[in-house]
Amino acid sequence: MEPIIYTVRPGNTLFAIAQLYGTTAVDIARYNGIVYPYTIYPGQKLRIPVEAVNPPKTYFVRPGDTVYSIAYRYGIDPNSIAAINNLEDINTIYPGQRLTLYI
């Protein structure tokens, strides 16, 4: 198994990154020697131990959508949507806005 190299973006958390790749924050932390408190930094390169990756889905926000309603619709964590898309405010999205979702 060849690890994936992921570059941390502002707002990312180990939990959100783990959801992207179908693994756990604990596994990513162990694999990268991150001890406490799972602190990661923008620009940091993480090795992600995975077998296969699901390709991302592009979603265009519709009138009336919220991050929470999109997350519910696709069965994913709203905080991971916010982190992956670098949303400054999880409560502010706009019709026509392009979001990346990992389902």
* Residue 36 CA neighbour count, 13 Å, CB half: 0
Domains 4-48 and 57-101 share a fold: yes
Whether the per-residue pLDDT at 53 is higher than 70: the answer is no
Parse the chain into domains and list their residue ranges. Answer: 4-48, 57-101
Residues forming beta bridges with residue 60, ordered by sequence position: 98
In 3D space, the residue among 54, 47, 61, 45 whose CA is nearest the CA of residue 93 turns out to be 61
Give domain 57-101's CATH number out of 3.90.226.10, 3.40.309.10, 3.10.350.10, 3.40.50.720: 3.10.350.10
Written as one string, the DSSP assignment of 8-21 is --TT--HHHHHHHH
Residue 94: its pLDDT value, please? 96
* Mean pLDDT value across the chain: 87
Q: Which DSSP helix (H) or strand (E) runs through 31?
A: helix 25-32
Confidence of residue 12 (pLDDT cuts 50, 70, 90): confident
- Higher pLDDT among residues 5 and 94, named by residue: 94
pLDDT digits 0-9 by tens, 19-38: 778 788 888 999 999 987 67
Domain boundaries 4-48, corresponding CATH code = 3.10.350.10
